[in-house]
Amino acid sequence: MEISVVVPFYNEEESLPELIAWVGRVCTSMSVDFEVVVVDDGSTDDSWQVVQGLKSEYAFLKGLRFRRNYGKSAALNKGFELASGEVVVTMDADLQDSPDEIPELYRMIHQEQFDLVSGWKKKRHDPLNKTLPSKLFNRTARIISGIRLHDFNCGLKAYKGEVVKNIEVYGEMHRYIPVLAKRAGFDKITEKVVHHRERKYGVTKFGMERFMKGFLDLLSVMFISKFGNRPMHLFGALGTLMFLIGFGLAIWLGAHKLYAVAHGVVVPLVTTNPFFYIGLVCMILGTQLFVTGFLAELVSRNRPDRNEYAVSEKL
């Protein structure tokens, strides 16, 4: 199988027939073996019935249906499990992603040997209350992750098949698949300007809360990427630094008090000095951070996948 097109969806009964037919036309014109994998994320409308009807018409169509809504990440993860193509293309089902982009995405993966090509909706047909927060979010993601992409959240992406088989998409991590891929050792990542179409049917399924969730997920994935296998390096270092600051303040206060007593100088009690409490709090926090790192290290060392690594070639 040369191409797998993975389409997660939720309540898209109106757009599915047009999308599947469009993808079929494009991939057929490329003269390649292809499949379309659809994942119904617990739709409450007749989306699944539409898919069942389309299955009798299109032999390349396959998919599954969740019993309830789990989210886009879960749908993509199951879609990746079902996909068997050498190149995997993902797109949303709302017709805002154009299937006409598939041939160029396939070429960039197949011929230019990129691991991942992410779509960039340079010109968006969305209101300002979506575009402005999105620009801020993407800028923050670029700075923190170090991956130079303009649109992390674009649903239109292409991957080498081995990429999607070596990553696990969970929670709300669908926004950070490039980060997960880089963590797994696939660092040939680029982007392509893609056409963003206006929504034709229905309404968006995402609200403003996605930006707060996205920022928190970014912090999570970056922590896991850098310190997931060695949490003591973070918590231990911070704990040691905090403890040394507090201990240094305690030594300074004690030495100052002893010097004053030795020279007959009357000074206030040490406990009346605010630095005493700052030092005490620093030592307590330092100890807690160090213990947290120690416990996290014990948990990490007992993970069943602690010695699993992504292997690119084997002789």
Asked whether residue 160 is assigned to any structural domain, the reply reads yes
Q: Are residues 34 and 177 in the same domain?
A: yes
The separation between CA 288 and the C-alpha centre of its own chain, rounded to angstroms, equals: 29
* pLDDT given at position 108: 96
* pLDDT given at position 83: 94
Q: Are residues 208 and 242 in the same domain?
A: no
**Cβ(164)–Cβ(5) below 8 Å:** no
Q: Are residues 32 and 52 in the same domain?
A: yes
Q: Are residues 213 and 248 in the same domain?
A: no
Q: Are residues 282 and 196 in the same domain?
A: no
CA distance 287 to 239: 6
**Count: domains in the chain:** 2
Q: Does the pTM of the predicted model rise above 0.85?
A: no
Provide the residue range defining the domain that includes 208.
Answer: 3-227
Rounded mean pLDDT for each run of 10 residues along the chain, 315 residues in total = 94 93 95 95 93 93 93 93 95 92 95 94 68 75 82 91 90 84 89 84 60 69 71 89 94 89 82 90 94 85 61 59
* pLDDT given at position 234: 86
Which of residues 198, 227, 256 is at a domain's end? Answer: 227
* pLDDT given at position 131: 67
Q: Are residues 253 and 219 in the same domain?
A: no
Asked whether residue 86 is assigned to any structural domain, the reply reads yes
Contacts of 190 (CB under 8 A, 6+ apart): 108, 114, 116, 117, 118
CATH of residue 74's domain is 3.90.550.10
Asked whether residue 307 is assigned to any structural domain, the reply reads no
